[in-house]
Structure 1
Amino acid sequence: MNTPTTTQLPVPPHFNSEEVGYVWRVPYQQRAKEAREWAKKHNIKPASEDETRICLLLIDVQNTFCIPEFELFVGGKSGAAAVNDNIRLCEFIYRYLGVITKIIPTMDTHTAMQIFHSIFWVNQAGEHPTPSATSITPADIEKGIWKVNPGVAYSLGYDYELLEKHAYHYVKQLSQDGKYPLTVWSYHSMLGGIGHALVSAVEEAVFFHCIARHSQTQFEIKGNNPLTENYSVLRPEVLESFDKRPFAQKNTRLIQQLLEFDTVIVAGQAKSHCVAWTIDDLLTEIQQVDPNLAKKVYLLEDCTSPVVVPGVVDYTEAADAAFERFAAAGMHLVKSTEPFLS
């Protein structure tokens, strides 16, 4: 790996690992002052002077996925996985503050009336599906078990018959493409709500990096199209409607940007869903350009965890299999505590 020789920095005294599992206000002015002093004390240069450009891509490190008792907390097998992942992630950001050029957090962003929320669907009795316990298949729609809620069509400004056709096409397309079936998720990452925000401790670390390195944090919004899921930040699950017209697009700007970095490091939640799908899409783009570029991608295995709902579903094996496939393609599976940037 072509990175400069560097000594790991200490973790700043303001970081408290016991606060990572909670929501609190970041004291921006105080942290900005401390970041400037920290940069001066440790001779941290502006990111614009980096000879080797390193990107840290943070997938959906938001309260909704990472704080216990929030909507889709990624507990993993331990029951506290996302919290522990983020302790390590914060420490990683602080230790390598001097060499991480840019941090790009993705923000899963939703409103209530979207195709994967329960209000979008009704059965013959007018009841909505149970969140996180319902998957909708083409057969379910064909048999009339679930249909599009007419009220949603009106509120979103769509013709009901056309929206029905799209929904059926969408569910069929997921199965044909080998994607997960349409899962009805609990309302989560709601725009305007606290679940949408970055985890406070991670936000603090990212802000500290921004000030210390004069490197603007680049937030990437995903998931706000009402007619498709968007696990990957690089592309939604389905791009075309039933009539072959595009209704969503790949994030070609971000794809090109990631390909131009010397090193891309990936962490976040959940390993089995948004992280795996993003890496898979990145690998697809890499293989179309130059398969050797996969070698510049590093996956922080101890800063990501799979979805595990005890007694319901466990995506651990699927997530591990995906990461093994990424490694076979040339990407590096590393731990945040390994000195792979030194």
Structure 2
Amino acid sequence: MTQLPIPQHFQPDRVGEIWRVPYQERSIAAKSWADNHQLSPISQTDSNVELLLIDVQNTFCLPNFELFVGGRSGRGAIEDNIRLCEFIYRNLGKIDQIIATMDTHHLHQIFHPIFWLDEQGEHPTPAVTTITPADVSSGKWRANPAFSTEPPEQLQAYALHYVQQLSDGGKYPLLIWPYHAMLGGIGHALVPAVEEAIFFHGIARTSQAMFSIKGDRTLTENYSALAPEVFKNQLGETIASKNDSLIEFLLTADKLIIAGQAQSHCVAWTVNDLLTEIQSIDPQLARKVYLLADCTSPVVIPGVVDYTAQAEAAYQRFADAGMNIVKSTADRDFI
């Protein structure tokens, strides 16, 4: 099947804006679009092409929101999502199902300011404060006991354990993030243009999109959609687990295409965990994974941090393992 034209309702200049998706209007248009282009329901096809969209949410993808992923260009996520929407529309007949992960947070979580106090009882400044094992050991930062029913010394022991686990495991150090992706807030929602494309695809192909929540555990970060940063507390008790059902589902795909935000964090960590699973089963499975390199950007906070090099190194490692690094606008048909 050749690539399709892009429906007239798609407006690239609105991808960086908030607006309401007109569901009923789009459902009628999508049904007509499917009829005109002879798109089959997924129940009538033998293929299993899955598109995994990682955290394509307002909080990461729109300017003036909490953690806009601008990349080095300053417009990274907007430009990524223009290409992503166009990719979905052009390949409506080839993408069988879309899975969207959603970073989901509450007030009291280990990476938010309110979890921590300094020696003066003040919370850390988000986006510029990194907490290391030495910081916790010295008392520079301590866990805020106000939200916990545990004895303060036990909570502090966990805090030290957590940052030490990150360090020992080769993870990113604990960066205190601004409050973001708050459950119930507008930042948590999918970007309207991408949500619209997902909805249009669902009607056109009679395909139910899947949504996977991650990141809502108090005591650990969850960059990856498949596993937490830390699994156990200082006593060896499990605090979070792998998302085995999602892992198993993704591994059944004939082709798995991955895009989203941010390349250096949630995308890279998700792909890394997927690769670990693949290598434990059959390394050749990596060849059915396609990473849309032009539909993702790294975290760059000017003057503070730039994770571009880490993102590029991760993608090179994925390519070396057999995964396909492609562009959504590639001339060759990889779907």
Q: Please classify the TM superposition score into its range, dividing by the shorter chain length.
A: over 0.9
Deviation at 1:340, TM superposition (A): 2.8
| Residue 257 of structure 2: aligned partner | 265
Q: Report the TM-score, using the length of structure 2 for normalisation.
A: 0.98
Give the drift of 1:324. 0.3
Asked if residue 221 in structure 1 is aligned to residue 213 in structure 2, the reply is yes
| Corresponding residue of 2:57 | 62
Aligned residue among 261, 267, 273 for 1:275 = 267
* Residue 124 of structure 1, CA deviation: 1.2
Q: Partner letter of residue 106 of structure 2? A: T
Contact 1:47 1:214 in 2 (8 A): yes
**Partner residue in 2 for 1:172:** 164
Q: Distance in 1 between matches of 2:324 and 2:123?
A: 43
Question: Post-superposition shift, 1:162?
Answer: 2.5
Structure 1 residues 312-327: aligned runs within 5 Å:
312-327=304-319
2:201 aligned partner: 209
Are 2:93 and 1:101 aligned? no
Q: 1:233 aligns with which of 225, 232, 252?
A: 225
The alignment status of 1:341 with 2:309, answered yes or no, reads no
Give identity over the alignment, percent: 61
Which letter does structure 1 place at the counterpart of 2:273? Answer: D
**Structure 2: where are the runs of 5+ without partners?**
none
CA RMSD of aligned residues (A): 0.9
Q: Following TM superposition, by how much is the alpha carbon of 1:176 offset from its aligned partner in structure 2, in angstroms? A: 0.4
Residue identity in the other structure for 1:169 = H
Is the CA contact (8 Å cut-off) linking 1:88 and 1:302 kept in structure 2?
yes
Query: Counterparts of 1:163 and 1:295 in 2: how far apart (Å)?
Result: 44
Shift of 1:200: 0.3
Aligned residue in 2 for 1:3: none
Query: What secondary structure does 2:222 align onto?
Result: coil
User: How far apart in 1 are the matches of 2:143 and 2:302?
Assistant: 30
- Residues 263 and 299 in structure 2, CA contact (< 8 A), matched pair in contact too: yes
Q: CA deviation at 1:99?
A: 1.1
- Would you say 1:185 and 2:177 are equivalent positions? yes
Contact 1:235–1:281 under 8 Å retained in 2: yes
Distance 1:341 1:214 in 2: 23
CA distance in 1, matches of 2:326, 2:121: 49
| Equivalent in the alignment of 1:88 | 83
How many angstroms does 1:48 deviate by? 1.7
What corresponds to 1:285 in structure 2? 277
Unaligned stretches of 5+ residues in structure 1: 1-5
Q: Which residue of 1 aligns with 2:301?
A: 309
Q: For the Cα contact (< 8 Å) 2:145–2:155, is it kept in 1?
A: no
Deviation by residue 1:79-107 (Cα, 9 ceiling, x = unmatched)? 00100000000000000001111100000
TM-score by length of 1: 0.96
